[in-house]
Structure 1
Amino acid sequence: MRVATWNVNSVRARAGRVVDWLVREDVDVLAMQEIKCKPEQFPHEQFEAAGYELATHGLNQWNGVAFASRLPIEDVVTSFDGMPGFAKGQEGSDLPQEARAMGITVAGLRLWSLYVPNGRALDDPHYDYKLDWLATLAAETRGWLTQHPDQPLALMGDWNIAPTDADNGDPTVLPGVSTHISAPERAAFDEFLSLGLSDVVRQYQPEGFTYWDYKQLRFPRNEGMRIDFILGSRPFADLVTHGSIHRNERKGDAPSDHVPVLVDLDLSLNGPGEDEDRPMIFG
């Protein structure tokens, strides 16, 4: 089974190349971020013609997450418990939620497509929102792992964090000045690892970026960042047989500024999806 994540940066602009990649790479499940459209605007026909079922969540022309799967999608949720909201210039605990999270179950795997807030600047309210969002997600993850320790779980998507210095090759992203590499952001990312999740691609591809800014020839100069990850629980990691970053998808006509990250799974190692009594994780 092949599972991938990709910040497509507007699915309506790139549906053709996304579907082409799915078919060419024989991908079973794709988590997408930044679809930038409402569900009724999503280009369903192209995905469905290629044999993919869809689950989409978008509220406007910003953000948005989705899944495309050749296997049945179950237990869809569009937020996690306590997920913070955000509205520019507003404060409080009852702010509108953005379309940044979707959880599904496929073949016994609990998968999440996550578009972590950018943060914008170290002194911007969006930065505090980002840290709060990650802290709440970590608390929920701890609960999921405790309640369902045997179910494979993967948190996939654009984390907007380069967790090590080697993951940042952009000369304009500087310590003490820029988001994505600050100590609090890296500590927030590390919290998921302390819970028992692991970067299931790193051992197979220890080097390489997943994002390059469109400006200043960042891609030809390979001045990118590694900010897209698949973090898996131990039961999920035990199924992984290979992982890869598909750098070539940054080339060609009208690419996204991110590229796909993919893992191969051997479901025969524990047979997820065969036990109808297996517990499910709900947001």
Structure 2
Amino acid sequence: MRIATWNVNSIRTRVGRVVDWMVREDIDVLAMQEIKCKPEQFPVEAFERAGYQLEIHGLNQWNGVAFASRHEMTDVATAFDGMPGFGKAIKGAEDRQLMGPNDLPQEARALGVTVGDLRLWSLYVPNGRGLDDPHYAYKLEWLAALRRNAEGWLAAEPQLPLALMGDFNIAPTDADMGDPSFQHGRSTHISPDERSMFASFIPTVDDVVRPYAPEGFTFWDYTQLRFPRDEGMRIDFIMGSPAFADTVTGASIHREERKGDSPSDHVPVVVDVDPSLLDAGYDEDDLDRPMIFG
């Protein structure tokens, strides 16, 4: 069974590329970030023709998260407890946008689903913008709330195969940062507070990709020839609970997807896991179902 995460940077722009890659790489479940559309604008038909079901959470042309899965998704959640909000309410989204505990509207940055025995979250962590920007404090508060929830979920169910997947907007070590425009003491993504926050998730959940893919970035800015120079950063992760990590048999970073026509500035990150995690409703015939695209 193959599970992946990908910040697609506008699904309407890249739907053909994303679906083609999923079929070619035999992806069972994909967590997407930055879909940049409302559910009614999402290109559903292309995914359904390829054999995928969808869960979508988007409020406007910014942010947005989604799942595409060959298997049934249940227990859908569009926020976690205590998830803070930011900015102003989005006009026309009154029925879908909730208020956070800080009395600000929650953004479309989190989507949780259950697939078989797996509990999966697609997460688009706030960028932070600048060390003195209110968005930076929001980022740390958002991550702290996510960590508390992860700790609570696993305290209640220690054997839960939980995966937090997505764009964390943090390069946790110097080896994860190759973009020279980011400087210690001046830039987000590498500040001590952000790295400390990332580290605080361990051992509740831990990076299940690096043991199998010890090198490679997941993001390269479009400007300054960052990709040809390999001046990227690793900010996209699959963080798994011990029960999830124990079933991982391989992982990969698909750097080639940064090439070609109209690529996202991020690339997919993939893990292979034991298909027995689909026991809750898993049907072996599903793996042999033909894929149709085009």
SS of equivalent to 1:156: strand
CA-atom RMSD in angstroms: 1.4
1:109–1:272 CA contact under 8 A, matched in 2: no
User: What one-letter code is carried by the residue in structure 1 that aligns with 2:180?
Assistant: P
Partner of 1:208: 216
Query: Which one of 265, 273, 280 corresponds to residue 265 of structure 1?
Result: 273
d(CA) in 2 for partners of 1:83, 1:23 = 34
SS of equivalent to 1:193: coil
Partner of 1:157: 166
SS of equivalent to 1:5: strand
Note if 1:243 corresponds to 2:251: yes
Identity over aligned pairs, percent = 70
Note if 1:180 corresponds to 2:189: yes
* 1:4-31 per-position Cα deviation (integer Å, ceiling 9, x unaligned): 0000000000000000000000000000
CA separation of 1:76 and 1:92: change in aligned 2, threshold 3 A: closer
Partner of 1:130: 139
Partner of 1:8: 8
SS of equivalent to 1:19: helix
Partner of 1:60: 60
SS of equivalent to 2:200: helix
2:78–2:110 CA contact under 8 A, matched in 1: yes
Quote how far apart the aligned CAs of 1:273 are.
Answer: 2.3
* 1:5-58 per-position Cα deviation (integer Å, ceiling 9, x unaligned): 000000000000000000000000000000000000000000000000000000
* 1:142-189 per-position Cα deviation (integer Å, ceiling 9, x unaligned): 100101111200000000000000000000011001000000000110
1:81–1:140 CA contact under 8 A, matched in 2: yes
2:7–2:167 CA contact under 8 A, matched in 1: yes
Counting only pairs closer than 5 Å after superposition, residues 1-283 of structure 1 correspond to structure 2 as 1-87=1-87, 93-195=102-204, 197-268=205-276, 272-273=279-280
d(CA) in 2 for partners of 1:250, 1:32 = 16
d(CA) in 2 for partners of 1:170, 1:81 = 34
CA separation of 1:83 and 1:215: change in aligned 2, threshold 3 A: same
**Structure 2 unaligned residues grouped into runs of 5+:** 89-99, 283-294
d(CA) in 1 for partners of 2:16, 2:5 = 17
Q: Compute the TM-score of the two structures, normalised by the length of structure 2.
A: 0.90
SS of equivalent to 1:170: coil
* 1:34-83 per-position Cα deviation (integer Å, ceiling 9, x unaligned): 00000000000000000000000000000000000000111100000110
d(CA) in 2 for partners of 1:238, 1:33 = 26
1:3–1:28 CA contact under 8 A, matched in 2: yes
d(CA) in 1 for partners of 2:259, 2:37 = 24
d(CA) in 2 for partners of 1:230, 1:25 = 17
User: What one-letter code is carried by the residue in structure 1 that aligns with 2:155?
Assistant: T
User: What one-letter code is carried by the residue in structure 1 that aligns with 2:200?
Assistant: E
Structure 1 stretches of 4+ with a deviation exceeding 3 A read: none
Q: Compute the TM-score of the two structures, normalised by the length of structure 1.
A: 0.93
User: What one-letter code is carried by the residue in structure 1 that aligns with 2:116?
Assistant: A
Quote how far apart the aligned CAs of 1:129 are.
Answer: 0.1
Quote how far apart the aligned CAs of 1:271 are.
Answer: 6.6
Quote how far apart the aligned CAs of 1:193 are.
Answer: 1.0
d(CA) in 2 for partners of 1:271, 1:159 = 26
Quote how far apart the aligned CAs of 1:272 are.
Answer: 4.3
**Structure 1 unaligned residues grouped into runs of 5+:** 276-283
d(CA) in 2 for partners of 1:189, 1:22 = 29
2:84–2:101 CA contact under 8 A, matched in 1: no
